Amino acid sequence: MRIDIFSDTICPWCFIGKRRLERALEDHTGAEDLEIHWRAFQLNPEMPQAGMDRRLYLETKFGTPRNAAAIYDRVASAGAEEGIAFNFGGIARTPNTIQSHRLLRFADEQGRQDAVAEALFQAYFLKGRDIGDDRVLAAAAAEGGLDEGQTLQFLEGDVYRQEVQAEDMQARQAGITGVPCFIFNGKYALPGAQPPEVIRRMLDTAEQEFAAQPG
């Protein structure tokens, strides 16, 4: 069975959704045969390549510091329930995420995509690192099991840029407007960072149909 997760590397709910998926998979029959693939969705596709000062970004997106604080307090509370100590105050810049999505495709080639996704979430949300910076990305890739030098060389090129942009567009054309969005076996969509019990029910439904397929 396969799960495709449309997400962005700067989406806190995607980090929370990852943790909830992991909880849903604990002791789940067939989890060892599950394929998980992280798919590209950019929350800010028009973000400048160099990113933007975090404070300016929040003012642009939410209007006032009070509005931003109310939203992120809710996210922080949900994160704490999943053991995630979000460090929003440590984030100085909001990056353009296309390089991080290119990196995830590169990691998928080497069977390390989920580990690198975890490293990216931790780098940004826990350590406040600028994951729009190629060297930061390469360091995160190394934490996820990739060769840092080879990763940096890859990032300096342009491979997968068009594929990432096309995947983002395809997601929007398919009706995905927010992330995370979990797609089970290419058929069942589960939007949002749903509770583990909801994910388990969807897993059961998808597995039953998969098992019933001929051949």
Query: Using an 8 Å Cβ cutoff, are 186 and 206 in contact?
Result: no
Query: Using an 8 Å Cβ cutoff, are 4 and 186 in contact?
Result: yes
Q: 94: exposed, middle or buried (C-beta count within 10 Å: 0-12, 13-18, 19+)?
A: buried
Residue 158's DSSP bridge partners are none
Q: What is the pLDDT along the chain (215 residues), one digit of tens a residue?
A: 899 999 999 999 999 999 999 999 997 776 678 999 999 999 999 999 999 999 999 999 999 889 999 999 999 999 999 999 999 999 999 999 999 999 999 999 999 999 999 999 999 999 999 999 999 999 999 999 999 999 999 999 999 999 999 999 999 999 999 999 999 999 999 999 999 999 999 999 988 876 677 65
What is the C-alpha R_g of the chain? 17
- 3-class state of residue 188 by DSSP: strand
- The 3-state secondary structure of 29-81, one letter per residue: CCHHHCEEEEEECCCCCCCCCCCEEHHHHHHHHHCCHHHHHHHHHHHHHHHHH
CA–CA separation, 151 vs 78, rounded Å? 33
The one-character DSSP state at 122 is I
Q: What is the pLDDT of residue 27?
A: 79
What are the tens digits of pLDDT across the range 179-191?
999 999 999 999 9
